[in-house]
Structures are given as structure tokens and as C-alpha cells.
Structure 1
Amino acid sequence: MSDVPQQAQQDIDAHALHEQVQYKNFSDLAGKVVFITGGASGIGRAMAEAFAVNGARLALLDINAGLLEKAQAELQATYPGIEVTTCVASITDEVAVENAVADVQALFGRIDVLLNNAGISMNKPTLELAPADWRRAIDINLNGAFYCAQSVGRRMVAQGSGVILNTASMYGTVAAPERAAYCASKAAVVMLTKVLAVEWAPSGLRVNALAPGYVQTALTDELVRTGRMDYDALIKRTPARRLGKTHEVATLALFLASDSAAYINGQAIVADGGWSTYSYI
């Protein structure tokens, strides 16, 4: 098995991200208030960087206070004058979510974009999947996404505008063995996205889902390290012959949150290097 190279800055290829967004194609995002769950690391951290480059005001929510503090300090050092606030909370706690959203609303006066990104993996044979594991995947990946969307959605409907991007997965659109809880929870996020899109569109909101394939993060590194993911087989199975990068998902989020995507609503946008298109034998 090949080694997966460790990323220098906790899952974020900052140089590649700057190459993608330094020219600021998304100037309409400047000044927008962007609420990011799971914003302290991985894809959420890359999203924070991408929106910071484009002049957004950021609210990062995560359960890890230490990583949140680190992310805030790094963003403020890299982009002097940027507004970044943080909220330590679990998205499975609907009261904590409501309190965090209310605090951000009070601070900034509005919320323009919700990047509903926090989630976990669950990769176990179905006959060995404990009820607690099933409940944990559903509670974080689905219930947490709902609590955040509902709380932020109330504010967006009242203000008559907003964009919500739910992080689903390619495994919310295709099946795989040993991922019953994960596939079920992410498929539910895709359908939740569609329901909210058609329900809230008349109020000026757009709701879409990001459906990434395998992206190199600390999570995938851990799956490889513990033998729960075969890196060589994964690369061979992926037509692009590589894993995705966090900045690639972040720049997709930039586009979908921007006015350039103003007529895209209720869609699950798959970014998986061709994985779900390829009928592999």
C-alpha cells in the first residue's frame, strides 16, 4: 500500500487554494456573512480560506475549540482586517445550534451563506454495525444538518435571501458495501436539500448539496492508516487516478454560493473524479 502524503497544514493545500481563488472571480461574495459548520479543519477549513480570500465575513462552528482558535488566528494573520467569529458547539444539540446562529445574527446582522459541512464517516460491515454507530451517523450527518439548515433558514426567509450548501457525498447518490449508515444519512441529506430548495425558493433562497468523492483529509488518512481503506485500490478505481483536494471542493462552494449560480437550485453537485460515472469491473 502506498503512503498517503501528510498535508502540511491540517488538510489544506493553501498554495493550491490561492492559485485557484487569488484573482477573486467571486467579488459578489465580498462582505457576505458565511456560517461554516465543521469549519476548523478539512473541507470546512478550506472553505473558510476560500471565502476569506474573497472578502467574506466568517462564522466558524466546530466542536474542537483548539482547532477553531487556531483557524481563526491563521485566517486573521493571513487576511488582516477580516472578520472571523467562532462558535464551539455540537451540531447534534439543537439548542446549542440555535444559540450559535442567534449569536452570529446578533453580531453581523444577517447570515447570507450557510455551508452545512460538519459530518462523520461510518465504514463498518452492516452485520457489525452497532445501533450506537447507526444513531451517531444519522444524528451528526442528517439531524445536525437539519438543525443548522432550519435555524439559519428561519433568518434567511425573514431577510428574503440566502444560500445553503449542504455537504452530502457521492455516497448519497450511489451505494457501496459496509457503508449502510453513511450512505443512508448522506442520501437523506440530498433529499433534504431538494425539499428545502423547492419549499424556500419563493422566499429568495437557494439550497444545493455538494457531493464530494474521496478527498484527502485527516479522515481519509486515518482510514488508510487503520486499514479500513485500500489507497492503491482507491486510486485505481478512480478515473482521475488521484484523490480530490479540499480546495477543489471549496472553490465549487464559492461558485454555488455566488451570483454566477443564481439559477442552480435543488441540485446535488458530484465532484468525485469520475468515480460514480465509472462502472468498474
Structure 2
Amino acid sequence: MSDHTIDAHALHATAKYKQFPDLANQVAFITGAGSGIGRAMADAFAANGTHLALLDVNIESLERARAELHRTFPQIEVECLVASIVDETAVEAATASIHARFGRIDILLNNAGISANRPTLELPAQQWRHAIDVNLNGVFFCAQAVARHMVAQGSGVILNTASMYGTVAAPERAAYCASKAAVVMLTKVLAVEWAPKGLRVNALAPGYVHTALVQELVSTGRMDLAALKKRTPAGRLGEPHEIATLALFLASEHAAFINGQAIVADGGWSAYSYI
């Protein structure tokens, strides 16, 4: 591939996202970075000159992301780590490795999570525990490990990915709604506790976003895309780059007085009471 082609790709990717100059040369740690919203976050922050540490359980998706990012944004550094966020020892080791390489961690995009849809009377204890473990415990482990370094440096931004279903209820989502609502409250606790130490902690609360997982559910008949669009006042699903752009703003100095909030981006879904 020619340098001209690389420059064209970089120009296109950079133009896709709002520019926040204060994010240049910062270090962002992104969990669940191999696909979906996490992968879009990697592009968004790379387009702003942010160096990246990407964590996922899928090594193939991480290596693909690394290659694409190096090709499009050769000026940034990319570190890839394979680990599960439910393993606190692995999280501590990954965080220490990132800090050793870059010397600081400025932003944590605490994005990794799983879906959990099943009638509550049929929900096995194992599935309930797994949802809580990934969606809540993993978020806590990552926030705690990274915040220790942020407190030492006197600054940092943590963005936890919750969900609109952490603010409103839906049937057959007991584990998902409970875990994401807990992420919202955890975010508020961490925000008020760590604000005096120079940290900001907020939550992203996306609605239905057009990811590969959603596309798979649609293609297998487990999700009615037409019904979702009709139910959403915006008339469509969100796109990963829209959630990533929200993360850029919240991580930037423009959001310096926003702390302890769950910012819902759902096309009006949760504001609309009609079923």
C-alpha cells in the first residue's frame, strides 16, 4: 500500500470525528476494544492523536485492530493485551504493563460487557452470575486498578459503558438491567469519591447500536430490526462512531465540569413511553 493511500485513509478517518486537540499524546486504555463500540472508540481517539492500550479476550480481533490502526494512524503507539476483565489479577497486570510502557494512563474507556436476555423464570444462576461478573465486577476491577495510577498522577478520566437499560427497565433482561444500573450507581460513587483527587468518572448509556452483534441477532431472527427502528423516535439505530464521539467529548477538557453522570444516547427511546 502506498503512502498516498495511507494518508487518504488517515484523512478520511480523522475527518469522521470531531477534533479535540487536548487529547493528543494522551494515553487511553480501552477494554472490549476488538469490536463494536470499543473498536470505534479506538479509531476516534487515534484520530485525535491519542496513544492506545487495547484489551480484549479475542486475540484475533486485537491483532486486526492493531494492524488497521498502525496502517491508518502510524503516528500513534498501540499496545494490545489479551485478558478477561473478570480476572482481577490479570487486570492489575495489564494496567501495570500499560503504565510501565507509557508512564501514565489518562483515560479509561471501561467498555467491555455482555448482553443477557432471557425470561427471568428461566434464568440460570450461572448466567446471572456471569452477567454481574462481566458487566459490573469487571468494570469495578478496571476502574480501581487504573484509578490507583490516576490518583498518583493527580488527573484522569474514566468512562464506564452502561446502557439505556441501566436507566429504564425491560422484560427478560433482569441480569442485564440490574448489572448496568449498578454500573450507573458505581459511576456516581466513584465520581464523588475521586473528584477531590483530580479524576472525573462518567457513564455512557447507549441505546440500540448497529454493531456486528446486533446484526447477528437480526440475521438469526432473534431481533426485529424494523420494530426497533419504529419504536425509536429517531427512526434508526445508533452507530458505533456516534457513541465514540460522545466519549471523545466527555474525555476532553470541554466536559471538565461534567462528573458523575450517565449520558444516554438512544435516539429518544427512553424518553418515549409509547410501546
The TM-score normalised by the length of structure 2 is 0.94
Verify the 8 A CA contact 2:31 2:56 in the aligned structure 1. yes
Pair 1:268 & 2:268 matched: no
Verify the 8 A CA contact 1:20 1:251 in the aligned structure 2. no
What is the aligned counterpart of 1:199 among 185, 193, 199?
A: 193
Match of 1:251, SS state, is helix
Structure 2 counterpart of 1:143, one-letter code: N
CA-CA distance at 1:80 after TM superposition: 1.4
**Aligned equivalents of 1:276 and 1:16: distance in 2?**
33
CA-CA distance at 1:221 after TM superposition: 1.3
Q: Which residue of 1 aligns with 2:3?
A: none
Q: Which residue of 1 aligns with 2:7?
A: none
Matches within 5 A, 1:63-74: 63-74=57-68
Verify the 8 A CA contact 2:13 2:47 in the aligned structure 1. no
Match of 1:127, SS state, is helix
Structure 2 counterpart of 1:20, one-letter code: K
CA-CA distance at 1:132 after TM superposition: 1.0
CA-CA distance at 1:17 after TM superposition: 5.9
Q: Which residue of 2 aligns with 1:48?
A: 42
Match of 2:257, SS state, is coil
- Aligned identity (percent) is 74
Q: Which residue of 1 aligns with 2:234?
A: 240
Q: Which residue of 2 aligns with 1:140?
A: 134
CA-CA distance at 1:232 after TM superposition: 1.2
CA-CA distance at 1:226 after TM superposition: 3.0
Matches within 5 A, 1:128-277: 128-277=122-271
Q: Which has the higher contact order (CA 8 A, sep 6+)?
A: 1
Structure 2 counterpart of 1:131, one-letter code: A
CA-CA distance at 1:222 after TM superposition: 2.0
CA RMSD of aligned residues (A): 1.4
Match of 2:248, SS state, is helix
Match of 2:145, SS state, is helix
**Aligned equivalents of 2:270 and 2:208: distance in 1?**
11
Match of 1:46, SS state, is helix
Structure 1 counterpart of 2:154, one-letter code: G
Deviation >3 Å, runs of 4+: 14-20
Match of 1:110, SS state, is coil
Unpaired segments of 5 or more residues in structure 2? 1-9
What count of residue pairs does the alignment treat as equivalent?
266
Specify whether residues 217 and 53 from structure 1 end up closer, same or farther in structure 2 by C-alpha distance, changes over 3 A only: same
Unpaired segments of 5 or more residues in structure 1? 1-13
CA-CA distance at 1:231 after TM superposition: 1.1
Map Cα deviations across residues 175-223 of structure 1 (whole Å, 9 max, x no partner): 0000000000000000000000000000000000000000011111122
